[in-house]
Amino acid sequence: MGFSEADIGAILLTLRLATTVTILLLLFGAPLAWWLARTSSRFKGPIGALIALPLVLPPTVLGFYLLLALGPNGPIGQFTQSLGLGTFAFSYSGLVIGSIFYSLPFVVQPLQNAFDAVGERPLEVAATLGAGPVDRFFSIALPLAKPGFFTAAVLGFAHTVGEFGVVLMIGGNIPGETRVVSVQIYDHVEALAYDQANQLALLMVVFSFLILLSVYGMQKKSHRQVLRFSQ
Amino acid sequence: MSMDYKKFSRRVLCLALLMPVSTVAAELTVAVASNFTAPAKYLAEEFEAQSEHQVRLVFGSSGRFFAQISNGAPFDLFFSADQEKPQELIENGLAIDDSLFTYALGGLVLWSRDEQLIQSSPAVLSSNQFSRLSIANARHAPYGIAAEEVLSNLNLLANLQSKLVRGENIAQTFQFVFTGNAELGFVAKSQVYQDDILISGSAWQVTEDLYSPIRQDAVLLQRASTNDAALAFLAFVRSSRGRSIIRSYGYVVGD
């Protein structure tokens, strides 16, 4: 097994992208999941549904709309241009934006389930002992929801690694910038380089299996379903 | 239950009796390289109008079709964007040797949606008026190979490397320019010209001495060797009417 320089470049880029996206999603996703778990607002349903959309939409739909939105005439494109940043399609930043939308439910839902499972009681007890809302979040909810954070991080990471349709639509296949492993595999197949495609594809299978094994192993330990795709 | 079944089978029998005794109409499925999308639709439409047959068109990249055909995809004809893939299918015993022919020579065009950007010359390529140039992936797309050839003949390939974005096939290459995400790109003439008139934007028709001809071959696949509809469609594509349709989309067709 020998990976070419281009293959290794694609692997490193994919890992960098997945890491960046996972960190950002945990930062943004945690408050969002916390709100969804605790609120009784009438917006809870619509916002939950909006977040879950990438689970059911074909990636081409997301990719196509992102391509239009990121373009010079799209809303995101006009915004980034007005900031003097140019447009984001065909760039690493563009991929980060796309992947955040794409992997959002895989991070928010396990976190929301974990916060749900914490329940009201420990928080109420903390409140009667004089803990403020911020203190309650950081010293009660966060530690109790730790397994949820683990699942969210692993799934968000793995899902971003497995991303293809969105990247194909907005990536433009630039080495070191947007050519991730899944696109590289596609290219190998298109170029009839089946041996190289096979090597990388096999790597993806093994990697994905190990990731899922770690999540299910964790679930068994905590006797609780952490992966759930509904309200 | 048995009554229902009887009633049902009587209906089926009635329907069967209404059908013509021997059906001349057949259906064929054609795998078409994406650059040839528009003319293929037109050819199929006219062919269907003058025959009993039904044509199902599938569009995509030649490389993917090659992989699918090698793994038993139910296609009858293959209109590739190059010559290598049909040839290799013949060598692998999956296509019929004497059916092979060049149905079109593709034309390469530098195109932008901006009507002012391209002044019917490659001058814009050495300017700073753009940040992204879209080309098809030269690793497997014939139009991408031609585009890189043009850039290297103009001594611009190294300079423009950081501005290149690559479409997986010529359809996506066009899409990048059409959505404005790339200011310009090397696309197929058939995508932006109709009857030798530019449909929109601005363009430069790349002169033929700057790239090797993009010969596109079609071949009858093994499973369709006795499919009348497939043979009839091939004959139509090679007829003078078929050739003039192909020409009207900016391809060069041999006589």
Strand ranges, E, within chain A:
none
Q: Per-domain residue ranges for chain A?
A: 9-222
Residue B80 has φ and ψ, to the nearest 5°, of -85, 165
- Does 3.40.190.10 match the CATH number of domain B108-205? yes
Task: Give the residue-averaged pLDDT of A50-64.
Answer: 92
Over the stretch A97-120, which tens digit does the pLDDT of each residue have?
999 999 999 999 999 999 999 888
Size (chain B), residues: 255
Helix A181-190 vs helix A5-38: crossing angle, to nearest 10:
130
Over the stretch B63-74, which tens digit does the pLDDT of each residue have?
889 989 998 889
CA distance B2 to B220: 47
A18 vs chain B: nearest CA distance in angstroms? 22
CA distance B102 to B69: 19
Q: Does A203 touch chain B (CB under 8 A)?
A: no
Q: Which residues of A48-59 are buried (b: 16+ CB within 10 A; e: fewer)?
A: beebbebeeeeb
Contact A71 B179 (CB under 8 A): yes
Neighbours of B124 (CB within 10 A): 21
Assess whether the region B23-105+215-248 and the region B108-205 belong to the same CATH fold. yes
Residue A175 has pLDDT above 80, yes or no: yes
Q: Residue A183 is encoded by which pair of tokens?
A: 């696109």
* pLDDT for the residue numbered A119: 85
Neighbours of B159 (CB within 10 A): 12
**For residue B141, which residues of chain A lie inside 8 Å, CB to CB?**
190
Q: Does A175 touch chain B (CB under 8 A)?
A: no
Residue B182 has φ and ψ, to the nearest 5°, of -120, 135
Task: Give the residue-averaged pLDDT of B201-206.
Answer: 96
* pLDDT for the residue numbered B119: 93
* pLDDT for the residue numbered A35: 93
Give Cα separations from A24 to A146, A170, A213, B66 (angstroms): 17, 20, 24, 40
The pairs formed by B85-91 with CB atoms below 8 angstroms and a separation of 24 or more are: B86/B217, B86/B218, B86/B219, B87/B217, B89/B219, B89/B221, B90/B219
Candidate ranges A77-86, A137-146, B211-220; pick with highest mean pLDDT: B211-220
SS in 3 state form for A15-30? HHHHHHHHHHHHHHHH
A171 vs chain B: nearest CA distance in angstroms? 8
Q: In terms of CATH, what superfamily is B23-105+215-248?
A: Periplasmic binding protein-like II (3.40.190.10)
Which of A80, A173, A178, A198 best tests the B interface by mutation, with the highest count of B CBs <10 A? Answer: A173
Q: CA A169, A171, A177 angle in degrees (round to 5)?
A: 170
Contact A87 B181 (CB under 8 A): yes
Residue B48 has pLDDT above 70, yes or no: yes
Contact B167 A172 (CB under 8 A): yes
A90 vs chain B: nearest CA distance in angstroms? 7
Q: Per-domain residue ranges for chain B?
A: 23-105+215-248, 108-205
Task: Give the residue-averaged pLDDT of B68-82.
Answer: 93
CA distance B133 to A224: 51
* pLDDT for the residue numbered A102: 94
CB contact at 8 A, A152 and A111: yes
In chain B, which residue's Cα lies nearest the Cα of A90? B165
Q: Does B143 touch chain A (CB under 8 A)?
A: no
* pLDDT for the residue numbered B5: 62
B164 vs chain A: nearest CA distance in angstroms? 8
Contact B165 A68 (CB under 8 A): no
Cα Rg of chain B, angstroms: 22
CATH node for A9-222? 1.10.3720.10
